[in-house]
A and B are shown apart, each in its own frame.
Chain A
Amino acid sequence: MLKLIRRALLLLLVMTLLTGIFYPLMVTGLAQILFFHQANGSLVYRDGWPVGSVLIGQSFSDPRYFHGRPSATRQNGYNAAASAGSNLGPTNKILLNNVAERTVRVRTENGLTQNTPVPGDLVTASASGLDPHITPEAALLQVPRVARARKLPAQKVRGLVEGNIEGRQLGLLGEPRVNVLKLNLALDALETGTR
């Protein structure tokens, strides 16, 4: 029995060194050499400073920016140090109240009538609380508001949105989508460019 325990312990330690130290460190080394940008969080820079990760959504409420999805993380959403979904079930009154409130807000903010359907992704919390994307419909719906707030021609803003629609990967996988951070960065760049 002692021999058995000794062997088990030795094998456990060897496996810990191999799969718990050597393997992750080797992968880290290779990843840092081969894919530096991705391995460190696909950061986006503006004027030399990181303003976020292209993969991690940010909270936008200013009418001059496109808004992302509701986020259920702590501290008003998009807490990238504590990802979370709402976990609200389909018959939970809190979920339905949240959706009702958000729907009204989206309609009011964008000057829509009270029975215009609103894209579902814009009024429901994402799984991670950090979803960087919205559907193309959800982005297009916000075009008039953003154009008005920025005093830009709607056609120009619409063109920007259309240029930022990412298609299905390899033409097949996933869903068409718009990265909100990228779109807003492009929007800011557009404005500084025209001034």
Chain B
Amino acid sequence: MKAIDILQILLYLVLLIALVAPLGHYMFRVYNGERTWLDRVLNPLEQLIYRLTEIETEKEMGWREYAAALLVFNFLGLVLLFLLQLGQGYLPFNPQHFKMVKPDLAFNTAVSFMTNTDWQSYSGETTMSYLTQMAGLTVQNFVSAATGLAVAIALIRGLTRRTSSTIGNFWVDLTRSVLWILLPISVVGALVLVSQGVIQNLSPYLTVSTLKGVGQTIALGPVASQEIIKELGTNGGGFFQANSAHPFENPTPLTNLLEMLAILVIPAGLTFTFGRMVNDARQGRVVLTAMIFLFVIFLAICYIGETAGNPLVSSLGASGPSMEGKEVRFGVANSVLWTTVTTAASCGAVNTMHDSLTPLGGLVPLWQIMLGEVIFGGVGAGLYGILVFVILTVFIVGLMVGRTPEYLGKKIESAETKMATLAVLIPAITILLGSALAVATKAGVSSVLNPGPHGLSEILYAFSSGAGNNGSAFAGLNANTLFYNLAIGFTMLIGRFGVILPVLAIAGNMAGKKAVLPGTGTFQTTGVLFAGLLAGTVLIVGALTFFPALALGPVVEHLLMLYGKTF
């Protein structure tokens, strides 16, 4: 354990935590319709958008209407992105003259970006035109993140409103998320990234004559504008195949730090927004505490795995930690930190090839995704995900002490508990059944790159990443096949809406309830005890569901690696 590594990790955590209150407070004002310093520019723009789209801002929606608006908007986004990929050969901003994307890949990619997953079975610089990257992928990066934010805010409203039949207006929540939160940070962030060397141009690829006199064609493009929202919206889809390991996406240790902050800043800040909205800062703090606690555990496991390195490689005479699939400018500390950050969130951008991590190092991203990405989690998705676990925790504690569970002054009854259970079970079942299907079929197994238990990890990772809407990969798996494009495509849809719909149902149910006064038997949902219970619930549910599968993948590979077995 090197002091400089720990110092860098601590710096990241301190900066992240320092940003929680200011950003959380700002987001609270945005969703509460209070004044902010950007109003002078954005209010006219917002009003213009509502006029153009004939949106009635004062009309509140019940949860079913909210869900319908969300589904229709997202489905149309899917269709538009699908068509854009098919037609890119005939459209402008295509200096490399890329032809239409084949339909199964276009379907997979459209679903992937619409669901905030950004699973990529294509390689950006050899497949997508600049127009597709900008007007297709970047747009979905914004609106899928805004969709997540809208759902989180709707859920909080559901928890706070009393005997109300509505949970907000989806159009307004979406629009304000983009205008006030995602867009301004992206504009500034993109320019900061460019100053460090992230490219931003519309030029055709450049062929240079290298020092030894051979040609090297360098892929270019409007990278920075996509890079920043890819992190900030926890989307994760790289402009280039190598994602944030590519020097044009992430050229310096400073861009690495800023991009990692962009990934977690909104999910972390939302815990504060939550506390403000429920009028009890402690409720937000307890969630944040549980998240940080879990994050540090996983980070430590990953760090230990990677610094210990691969004894099989060391025995060949290669000194130092395992550098396969890592970049020198990041080294182990920043690779490990990024890996843990990107899979705690549902981001999935990578600066390290996860497939080449040591078994223990690779276990961490896989397991974090399986837990439902509630350790900070995706933009919006992390907060509504952890609140589902809060409801489960309250319910379990209620069973233990034999009282009707309550949360934020409302009774948690059978309907909410069922919905919360569904939101946890649907992705979990999809991961396990999907992986089982892939393992049992030739179409599934033939895409595997690495033999032995690592191959199972590749498949497990693919379905976990899809169902968790993460998007990172054990990328040796050849996912650009009809089987995987369709299988992961549907996995992503189920993983996204199989959680959002139960969550909105909970929001609707809770909004309609009366407040109950806290009695002597009311279990406190604040403080260290509850944070521990919450973290424990997340871990136990995840362990019970996935331990058998993990044991056959990374765990057994770790033991075999120590034993000296190769495949």
Contact = CB atoms under 8 A, between A and B. Distances in A.
B200 A28 contact: yes
Contact of A10 (B54, B350, B358): B54
Contacts of B324: 85-86, 88, 90, 95, 99, 124-125
B543 to A, nearest CB: 24
B142 A15 contact: yes
Given A5-B72, A15-B178, A128 B329 contact: no
A83 B246 contact: yes
B414 interface: no
A100 B450 CA distance: 18
Nearest to B192: A35
Interface in B518-567: 557, 560-561, 565-567
Contact of A87 (B220, B318, B474): B474
Nearest to B174: A11
Nearest to A168: B253
A127 B49 contact: no
A38 B320 contact: no
Given A88-B324, A92-B454, A80 B219 contact: yes
Contacts of A93: 566-567
Contacts of B165: none
Contact of B171 (A7, A42, A134): A7
Given A83-B246, A119-B320, A175-B330, A92 B195 contact: no
Interface in A170-189: 170, 172-175, 177, 181, 184-185, 188
Size bin of chain A's contact surface:
35 or more
A14 B76 contact: no
Contact of A49 (B187, B209, B326, B355): B209
Centre residue among B68, B142, B174 by max chain A CB count within 10 A: B142
Contacts of B329: 131, 133, 174-175, 177
Interface in A27-65: 27-28, 30-32, 34-35, 38-43, 49-53, 55-60, 62, 65
A135 B209 CA distance: 25
A130 B242 contact: yes
A192 to B, nearest CB: 13
A91 B312 contact: yes
Contacts of B252: 169, 173-174
B218 A56 contact: yes
B194 A55 contact: no
A50 B205 CA distance: 13
A41 B204 CA distance: 12
Contacts of A152: none
Given A69-B328, A123-B318, A128-B242, A10 B52 contact: yes
Interface residues of B, number: 122
B319 interface: yes
A41 B313 contact: no
Given A41-B248, A58-B216, A52 B356 contact: no
Given A43-B208, A83-B241, A120-B323, A38 B76 contact: no
Interface in A99-114: 99-100, 103, 107
A92 B566 contact: yes
B341 interface: no
Contacts of B206: 41, 43, 50
A23 B4 CA distance: 38
Centre residue among A78, A79, A92, A125 by max chain B CB count within 10 A: A92
A116 interface: yes
Interface in B458-478: 474-476
A124 B318 contact: yes
Given A27-B225, A120-B318, A90 B178 contact: no
A82 B218 CA distance: 9
Given A50-B206, A133-B329, A5 B76 contact: yes
Interface string B56-93: 00000000000011001100110010000000000000
Interface stretch (B130-138, B149-157, B262-270, B384-392): B130-138
B138 A173 contact: no
A142 interface: no
Nearest to A55: B247
A65 B218 CA distance: 21
Given A7-B171, A31-B200, A117-B317, A89 B247 contact: no
Given A19-B142, A23-B225, A103 B211 contact: no
B273 to A, nearest CB: 22
Contact of A31 (B52, B135, B183, B190): B190
Nearest to B240: A83
A83 B242 contact: yes
Interface in B289-328: 309-310, 312-313, 316-328
Nearest to A21: B135
B208 A50 contact: yes
A91 B452 contact: yes
Contact of A28 (B175, B202, B317): B202
B198 interface: yes
B118 interface: no
B406 interface: no
B200 A12 contact: no
A35 B197 CA distance: 9
A27 B325 contact: no
Contact of B454 (A53, A90, A169): A90
A194 interface: no
B43 interface: no
A153 interface: no
**What are the 7 tightest A-B residue pairs by CB atom distance, in nearest-first order?**
A174-B253, A127-B245, A87-B476, A20-B135, A173-B253, A83-B242, A175-B331
Given A41-B248, A82-B125, 14 more contacts: A5-B76, A19-B138, A27-B200, A27-B225, A28-B200, A84-B242, A92-B452, A92-B454, A95-B313, A115-B317, A120-B313, A135-B320, A174-B331, A177-B329
Interface of A: 4-12, 14-16, 18-21, 23-24, 26-28, 30-32, 34-35, 38-43, 49-53, 55-60, 62, 65, 69, 78-93, 95-96, 99-100, 103, 107, 115-121, 123-135, 168-170, 172-175, 177, 181, 184-185, 188
27 contacts: A5-B76, A7-B171, A8-B69, A14-B49, A19-B138, A20-B138, A23-B138, A23-B186, A28-B225, A31-B191, A38-B196, A39-B224, A49-B208, A57-B247, A58-B212, A83-B241, A86-B353, A88-B356, A88-B449, A89-B449, A89-B557, A103-B317, A118-B317, A124-B325, A131-B329, A172-B4, A173-B334
